Amino acid sequence: MTDAIEIQRLHKRYGHRVAVHELDLRVRPGTVFGLIGPNGAGKTTTLRTLVDVIRPSSGSVRVLGEDPQRGGAALRRRLGYVPGELRLDGRATGHRMLSFYAQVSGARDTDATLRTARELADRLGVDLGRPVRTLSKGNKQKVGLIQAFMHRPELLILDEPTSGLDPLVQREFLQMVREARDAGQTVLLSSHVLSEIQQTADEVAVLANGRVVADGDVASLRLGSVRRVRASIRTTDADAVRATFSAVPGVVDLEVAEADGIVHVSGSVEGAIDPFVKALARVEVHDLTVEEPDLEESVLRLYGDTSTASVDTSDRPDAATPASPRTRRERREERR
């Protein structure tokens, strides 16, 4: 079966700056593929080449079996696209704007498309009767999502689709993505938020400095296993607290400070959280936060300094464990 997206040795330079470096990527039809990476990793650049907003310096891109530079309107009709920086400034209402898109995109059944648009507007909670320029950033984003989903395209290309959405709406959006996959559509979404990729994607590629530093299925992705923790403990014995938490497996960057009868502990927990929770059970916890890992920190921690030329994580000791995502070299070798 033809891949929904096939990117081979994609290279994009802006002047001297290399935004995307010899990137290979395949997205199988009927799957959700997550592209994650810190700011400036090259996600937007990659997605823009797929919809022919920008053109590669070299390499090739195929979308639904076609070259985006030649596919024209016929190919674009089969796609739904949400750009990273969505600008909606018109006087038209959301409904009028979506009707216009439905007509120009040649939706086979405009009525059904607009019915879907209204259903999605209800689910996401946006008023399509208002001029789009008067909508808040988050509500504009919802209209952007609706225009991408409403004609039920074969392939959805979504660049940071949840930006500006509140958590409840994000959850609804992630459900829409799962439903799209269940209906046989393919979704490629970019994000710098780990959890939304983990909740939806079948496969993931981690991008840093324009290179794929790791890829694989979500279960094997170890990025999410680094959590930042902060606890306030009701005691004055900072030494005892330090001794307790420094003995917990996986705890790194531990900092302990006492103030006004509370000992503040912060650090990162790599791997299972359970030993840390068990250690907390032995003290009187005043406050606790467990944060989603910062993606940039996680990428650097797990894959080393990605600004170096080496992208081959198989050379790194921690990438050799069975739990690690397969590296580019391992995948190439598997395909041979």
Q: Strands 226-234 and 203-208: what pairing?
A: unpaired
Q: Which stretch binds ligand ATP (CB under 6 A): 36-44, 100-108, 167-175, 316-324?
A: 36-44
How would you classify residue 271: left for phi > 0, otherwise alpha for psi between -120 and 50, otherwise beta? left
Three-state DSSP class for 179? helix
- Is position 14 an interface residue for ligand ATP (rule: CB under 6 A)? yes
CA 187, CA 43: separation in Å to the nearest integer?
15
Considering only residues 1, 39, 182, 261, which one is a binding residue for ligand ATP as defined by CB under 6 A? 39
Quick note: the x/- pattern for ligand ATP over 79-118, rule CB under 6 A, is -----x----------------------------------
Q: Which is nearer to ligand ATP, 19 or 114 (CB)?
A: 19
φ/ψ region of 323 (left if φ > 0, alpha if ψ in -120 to 50, else beta) reads alpha
CB of 150 to ligand ATP, least distance (A): 25
Is 161 an interacting residue with respect to ligand ATP (CB under 6 A)?
no
Q: How far is the CB of 44 from ligand ATP (least distance, A)?
A: 3
Within 10 Å of residue 287's Cβ, how many Cβ atoms? Answer: 11
Number of residues that bind ligand ATP (CB under 6 A): 13
Given 21, 43, 142, 211, the residue binding ligand ATP (CB under 6 A): 43
Contact window for ligand ATP (CB under 6 A) among 11-19, 137-145, 233-241, 305-313: 11-19
Contact segment (CB under 6 A) with ligand ATP among 35-43, 115-123, 254-262, 276-284 equals 35-43
Q: From CA 41, how far away is CA 20, in angstroms rounded?
A: 8
Tell me how far apart the alpha carbons of residues 289 and 287 are, in angstroms, rounded to a whole number. Answer: 7
Return the number of the residue (205 or 280) whose C-beta is nearest ligand ATP.
205
Considering only residues 175 to 194 of the shown chain, the ones binding ligand ATP according to CB under 6 A are: 192
Which residue type, as a one-letter code, is found at position 179? E
Identify which of 131, 65, 321 has the alpha carbon closest to the alpha carbon of residue 214: 321
Residue 17 within binding range of ligand ATP, rule CB under 6 A = yes
Residues that bind ligand ATP (CB under 6 A): 14, 17, 19, 37, 39-45, 84, 192
